[in-house]
Structure 1
Amino acid sequence: MLQVNYIRQNRETVLERLAIKNFKNTELVDEVLKLDDERKRLQNEFDSNQAKVNSASKEIGNLMRTGDKDGAEALKQEVATIKQTLEPLKQQMADVETQLQNKLLQLPNLPSPLVPAGKTPEDNEVVKEGGEKPVLHEGAQPHWELTTKYKLIDFELGTKITGSGFPVYTGQGARLQRALIQYFLNFNTAAGYLEYLPPFMVNEDSAYATGQLPDKEGQMYHATADNFYLIPTAEVPVTNVYRDTILKEDELPVKMTAYSPCFRREAGSYGKDVRGLNRLHQFEKVEIIQLAHPEKSYEVLEEMVAHVERLVQSLELPYRILRLCGGDMSFTSALTYDFEVYSTAQQRWLEVSSVSNFESFQSNRMKCRYKDANGKTQLVHSLNGSSLALPRIVAAILENHQKEDGIHLPKALQPYFGKEVIS
C-alpha cells in the first residue's frame, strides 16, 4: 500500500509512474489527498475540543476550591456541550479513515524507474538468454503425449475426481514431482534460505497484507464458511510470518523458502496454450522470499535473479530473462523479472518464474518494520521469486530431454529421482 505522505509530497511523480503501469483510475490520487485533508481537519477539531474540555475541567476544580459554585456550574454546562461534539467527531474520523484506506487499497504499487513502458507481454524486454535449444529426433512429442506414453500424469482421472486443471501424477510422474521439490528446496537452503512448511490456506488479513486482496479475490478459491483463502503461492503465508513485526537492522536480510501447492481459478483462461501442464488450477511450486533493507533491496533482487538463473541452468534448459513492462506487471510489484524456458516440442517459451521487488508496498500493509541505527522505525522491503514452478519445468524437461529411448534427466536431478532415464 502506498503511503499518503509520499503521495502528497510526490503527486506528479505518482501520476507519471501510475501511467507507466497503465493505471486508468488516477482520480483516486486526488481522492486520497482530499480524504486525508478531511481526516486532518476532523482530528484537529477533535483535539481542539478535547483540549477545551481538559482546560475547563481544571478550571472547574479551581472554581470549586474558591467557593464559586455558580461559575463552576456554568462552566460544567459549557463542558457538557463541548463533550457532545466529541463522539460524533470520533465517528466521522473513523468513517473517513475507512474511506481513505479503501481508496489506498485500490492504488497499485508504483513501478521502478527501471520498468520499461508498454502494455502487453510483447513489450517486455529480453535482458539475457542462455542454454541451447536442442535438436529433437524425428517423431518428438509434446509433453501431454509423453505423459501418456510413460504413464506419468492422468489428466482425465483428475477431471473425474475434481475437474479440469487438477492432474493426477502417477508412478514416475509423482516421483519426478517429489524429486524436483526436494532438489529445489535443497538448492535454496544451501544458499542460506530457511525452509518453512506453511499452511495452505490463509485468513483475510494475510491475503490483504501481501496484496492478493482486494485485487485478486476472483482468482482465488474461497472457503466461505471460515472465510479462508486457498493460497495462490507460498509467498502469501511465508511473507506473513513477519506481519506486525519489528526486526533489528542486523537481522536483515531475512531469507525464507517454502514448498506449497498453489491454487488458482485462472478465470477466463482457455485455448490451445492451456493444454496439458501449461495452465492448471492446482500445481506445485517452491518459493524464495526475502525481507531486505530498503537501501539494499535492488542488490538483493539481482542476487535472487542470479540464484534462479543458476537453478534453471542446472536443469540444462534453454532460457531467457525478461524485464516486464508496466502493463504486464502485477498490482503489487515495483520491478519484475520473468524466466522463460523454451519448449522445443511446442516451439514456444514457457514462463517458469517471476522474481519481484515490492519495495515497501507489502510491508506497509503488513506493518513489517525494522529499527535503524538511530532507533527510528522504518519499513522493510519485501521480495519474492519462484524457485521454481513445477508444471512448465516438467513440460520443458520432458520435451527438451526426450530421446527415442526415454527422457534423459539432467544430471543435477538424477540423484533425487534415482534414475538417469524415464522409460
Structure 2
Amino acid sequence: MLSEASKETIRATLPAVGAAIGDITTLFYRRMFDAHPELERDLFNRGNQRQGEQQKALASAIAAFATLQLDPDPERVQTILSRIAHKHASLGITADQYWIVHKHLFEAIVEVLGEAVTPEVASAWDEVYWLMANTLIAMEAGLYENAGVEAGDVWRRVRVTGRTQQSEDTVSFTLASLDSAPLPTFTPGQYISVAVQLPDGARQIRQYSLACDPTDNEWRITVKRIGANMRVDGSVTPVGEVSNFLYNNVFEGDELSVSLPFGDLVLPGDDAPLLLISAGIGCTPMIGMLEHLANTEDRRSVAVLHADRSAAQHAHRAELAELVDRIPLAVMHRWYEDLGAREPFAGTRLGRADLTDVSIEPGTRAFLCGPLPFMLSMRESLIARNVPTENIHYEVFGPDSWAGASA
C-alpha cells in the first residue's frame, strides 16, 4: 500500500500529472527508444506507437493505478494489472526491463513538469511506480512459474500444418510442435504471441487467440488482413503489419516463433450462465470456449451474440453455428450490417448489435471481444440490464485503454 505521506502528495499533484500524462508518456517513449532502439524494433508494437495508441494506454493505466491508491479498490487494481501481466508474460518481459522504464519515465516527468517536481513529489510518484512495477513483477513471476519456465523464456518454434481461408480477409493457421509432441495446454480463451521477422529486419510481435480446444494436439489461430488507416491530413498510417505479413507470406510447412499461452479472459470453471459477445475477428476466443463446451457436453446455459459487417465477412461463420448446435442449452444471436440480397434468417438480424430483446439470466458471466467502442457499448447495455460489473470480462488486442474509458 502507498504510504500516508505519499498519498497526500499524490492527491495534491494527481490533477497536474493527469493533465500532463499524455505529454509525459509521449516523451517517455521517445527518450526510451532513442536510448534503446532495439525495444521499438523488436519488442514494442511500432504501429501502435505511430498512431499514439500505446502512449494513451500507458497514460490511462498509470492514472488509473495512482487514483486507486487514494481510494483503494483491490479488485479493480487486480483487473487492470492482471491483463498487463499476462501481456508482458506473453512478450517475455523480465524484471530488469522495469528499471529501463523507470529511468526514462521519470526523466520525462521532470522535463514536462519542471520545477513542480520537488523531491517530495518525485519520491511520492517513485513510490507509485515501484508499487505498480513490483506488483506486476510478482504477478509475471507467478505466470512464468505456472508455465514451468524461467522468467522470459516463453518462446518456441512451431510448424504450420494447415492454412484455411475463413473469409475473404481472414485465414486460420494450424500449428504443431516440430517434434510432433503435444503442445502445452491452456485455458479456453487464452492467446499466444507470434513473432515475425519483417522485411526491414524488425522483429514484431502480436497476440492471437487460440481458436481450438485445449485437448487438441495442435493449436489454431485466425489472422485478419488489415488495411491502412487514412489520417485527417490525408497521410496513411500503416497498420496490421504482422497480420498482413502472416496472411500474405505464411503457408503449410513454414515455421513460426510463438509464445506459451497466456491471457486472463478464460472460461470459468463454475456452472454460471455464459454470455459470449463478439464482433468481427473478436469471435476467436469465443470459438475456443465454445469448442471446449461442446467437446465436454457442458449443460450450462450459453448465449452467443456476434456482430459483423456481413455474412461474407464473418470469419468462422459456419463453425460458430455448428458449435452452438452441439451445446444443449446454447442459443445464438447474430447481427449483420449488410445482408446483401438475403432476408433476415434464423437467429440473424439486420443492423447493429442490440441487447434489448436478449434474455439474460441471473448470475450470468459476460465475455466481450471486439473493437473497443463495441465492447464499451455492450458493457453499458449489460450494466443497464443489471449485470454486475465484476461479471463483465473482456479482451483487448492492442493497447488497452479500457481502464480509463470504463472507470
TM exceeds 0.5?
Answer: no
Larger radius of gyration: 1
Between the two structures, name the one with larger relative contact order (CA 8 Å, sep ≥ 6).
1
TM-score, with length taken from structure 2: 0.23
TM-score, with length taken from structure 1: 0.22
